[in-house]
Amino acid sequence: MSIPQSGGGPIEHYDQLVEFLSKGCKPKDQWRIGTEHEKFGYCQDSLRPLPYDGQRSIKAVLEGLRDRFDWSPVHEGEHIIGLTKDGANVSLEPGGQLELSGAPLENIHQTCDEVNHHLAEVKAVADHIGVKFIGLGAAPEWTHEEMPLMPKGRYKLMDAYMQKVGTHGTQMMRRTCTVQVNLDFGSEADMVQKLRVALALQPVATALFANSPFFEGQPNGHKSWRSRIWRSLDDARTGTLPWVFEDGMGFERWVEWVLDVPMYFVYRDGKYIDALGMSFRDFLKGELPALPGEKPLLSDWADHLTTVFPEARIKQFIEMRGADGGPWRRLCALPALWVGLMYDQAALDAAWDLCKGWSAEQREALRVAASVDGLQAKVDGIDMHDLAREVVAISEAGLKARARPGAGGLVGDETHFLNALKETVETGQTPADELLAHYNGDWDGDLKRIYAEYSY
């Protein structure tokens, strides 16, 4: 989840909302890569999720990173709820999932170094206090009641609201983890093409990274239960957004949609003010019941943009949001996949050629099928395994065309970061398939084996 935004003066006219997004346009030589990933923490001896406070806790991990590795703390009231350093931040998801939001970096070599460095720091702190972390798309055993809600005002408001607008919202908040990448665009037209490719091909990422076949201690019938959860969260702010593929798509069309999404909150003086279900359009007119007579700041608009949750999302960059959290080596494969598709024009055009003929119904059916069947999904003659093979090949070509070597030129280009996905395509086995094979085979139905064998 995003941290509160700051800065920017009052919004005096509608065009500022569009201008805010269009300021994300950058020349190609300034395009960057921001990788985010979440993981579950648990007590090593009891295998129970971490509380916020205590000797073995989320707070202890944050304080350990602060004290041992010079991260600067972020507080909400008396609680430490995050860390910042060198353009990156560490934050908490609602159920205590620990998230790294990486700095904007130039290539996958750098972003993978960042991930590796972060996980090494987390492991050093965690080992010292008897804590472990595991990368999965959904909590394998823990119930809602066992996952404590973190002490952040935003989450307290969302937790109550989620139970009114969908059936899986609180599951998303407390018991899922993802890995995503944030990428830039050069113009409005570039944004539109990238967003369309991102939304259409997000099911491929869901299938390739499927890693949540268990929930509450048993198989759940899905390769990506995390993806299933998002389908029943809140129809007003999720989905594959069919209108993005219609004529007239641009920054203004995105603004219009976001304005119609009900609000969660307004952030003032370090506190979250309840604006649940209220209208940002009313806010623009100074008629928001939560703050009567007050008009929004640009930071309020930036905050509101973080409360929409489609499969790909526009802020001043594009977020790819379709993949389950997972094993260490796959945390670098996700940005590699999308950078290869998005940052080389020939690759982007090839990716669009793959999916431009699909209907809205086919795109949605692929989303559903990916969550259930992973690479074995089939929709109207579209074979997910074959599609994934083509997508990974296009991405590899895009990374080769980028030709970005590692430090000192001693490491090859970025294509080797796709190796985990190429292996998945070759074998047809996603992480979920591997987990289910263990569960039904050598684990003999003992899901607790997952902790020893799959923790970082």
Q: Using DSSP, how many helices (H) and how many strands (E) does the chain show?
A: 17, 17
Q: How far is residue 123's CA from residue 355's CA, in Å, rounded to a whole number?
A: 41
Closest CA to 243 of 231, 260, 230, 229: 260
CATH of 15-454 among 3.40.50.620, 3.40.50.300, 3.30.590.20, 3.90.1150.10: 3.30.590.20
Mean pLDDT value across residues 251-269: 96
DSSP state of 320: E
Our measurement of the distance from residue 146's CA atom to the centroid of its chain's CA atoms, rounded to an integer in Å, reads: 23
Closest CA to 138 of 203, 226, 219, 220: 226
**Has residue 408 got a pLDDT over 70?**
no
First to last CA, the chain: 22
Percent of the chain with pLDDT over 70: 96
CB atoms within 10 A of CB 255: 22
Joined together, the tokens standing for residue 289 give: 């019941």
Q: Whole-prediction pTM value?
A: 0.95
Q: How far is residue 67's CA from residue 46's CA, in Å, rounded to a whole number?
A: 26
Average pLDDT score, the chain: 94
Residue with tokens 């019938």: 221
Q: Is 328 buried (19+), middle (13-18) or exposed (0-12) by CB count in 10 A?
A: middle
Which residue did the predictor score with more confidence, 168 or 387? Answer: 387
Reported as a single tens digit per residue, the pLDDT across 89-105 is 999 998 999 999 999 99
Number of residues in the chain: 456
Would you place residue 152 in the very low, low, confident or very high pLDDT band (cuts 50, 70, 90)? Answer: confident
Reported as a single tens digit per residue, the pLDDT across 285-326 is 999 999 999 999 999 999 999 999 999 999 999 999 999 999
Would you place residue 161 in the very low, low, confident or very high pLDDT band (cuts 50, 70, 90)? Answer: confident
Dihedral of the alpha carbons of 432, 242, 348, 339, in degrees to the nearest 10: -50
Residues 6+ apart with CB under 8 A from 289: 275, 278, 282
Q: How far is residue 312's CA from residue 199's CA, in Å, rounded to a whole number?
A: 6
**Has residue 412 got a pLDDT over 70?**
yes
What are the φ and ψ backbone dihedral angles of 441, each rounded to 5 degrees? -115, -105
Residue with tokens 């899901």: 447
Q: Is 92 buried (19+), middle (13-18) or exposed (0-12) by CB count in 10 A?
A: buried
Reported as a single tens digit per residue, the pLDDT across 221-232 is 999 999 998 888
The helix (H) or strand (E) run that includes residue 300 is helix 298-305
For the four alpha carbons of 439, 440, 442 and 446, in that order, the dihedral sign comes to positive
User: What residue segments make up the domains of the chain, in order of their start?
Assistant: 15-454
**Has residue 415 got a pLDDT over 70?**
yes
CB 49 within 8 A of CB 132: no
For the four alpha carbons of 131, 133, 134 and 140, in that order, the dihedral sign comes to positive
Q: How far is residue 105's CA from residue 212's CA, in Å, rounded to a whole number?
A: 29
3-state helix/strand/coil string of 127-167 = HHHCEEEECCCECCCCCCCCCCCCCCHHHHHHHHHHHHHCC
Q: What is the DSSP string of 197-230?
A: HHHHHHHHHHHHT--B-EETTEE-S-SBHHHHHH
Closest CA to 326 of 175, 135, 180, 172: 135
Reported as a single tens digit per residue, the pLDDT across 198-219 is 999 999 999 999 999 999 999 9
